[in-house]
């Protein structure tokens, strides 16, 4: 069974063995509004936890997507180039950004589970 964790920057990470699929949460896409462009990282790029992974542009603004954990990009969701609105439609499904080969599983301990993330978001209102 895969495990999902959340960052305070509203990214989610789904763990499957040594691979982590990363995207933004439903809350994040709501804040952005209609996504019109997604800039994805290059396959092979090494990313550090808390550093920029991708960029999302919406009708409201451009925002960075930060890596919730460190790792190497092993796959990107190239479908988002042609259909960036997928991020709005299925932020935590088909709207994923990249898959990372996890560098340090210990970093997952610093992320929130779903219950903690929901409480975190409720506290923002």
* pLDDT tens sequence across 47-100: 999 999 999 999 988 999 999 999 999 999 999 999 999 999 999 999 999 999
Does the pTM exceed 0.85? yes
> Which ranges constitute the DSSP H helices of 34-107?
79-82, 86-89
CA distances in angstroms from 26 to 70, 107, 119, listed in the order given: 22, 23, 14
Domain boundaries, the chain: 3-107
Classified by CATH at the fold level, domain 3-107 comes out as: OB fold (Dihydrolipoamide Acetyltransferase, E2P) (2.40.50)
| 3-class DSSP state of 67 | coil
- The per-residue pLDDT of the chain, averaged, comes to 96
Sign of CA dihedral 26, 85, 21, 2: positive
């Amino acid at each position: 069974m895969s495990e999902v964790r959340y960052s305070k920057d509203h990214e989610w990470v789904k763990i499957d063995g040594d691979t982590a699929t990363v995207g933004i949460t439903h809350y994040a896409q709501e804040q952005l509004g209609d996504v019109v462009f997604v800039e994805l990282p290059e396959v092979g790029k090494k990313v550090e936890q808390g550093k920029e992974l991708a960029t999302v542009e919406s009708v409201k603004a451009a925002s960075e997507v930060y890596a919730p954990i460190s790792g190497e990009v092993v796959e990107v969701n190239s479908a988002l180039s042609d259909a960036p609105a997928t991020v709005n439609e299925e932020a935590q499904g088909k709207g994923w950004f990249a898959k990372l080969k996890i560098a340090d599983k210990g970093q997952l301990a610093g992320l929130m589970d779903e219950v903690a993330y929901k409480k975190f978001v409720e506290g923002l209102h």
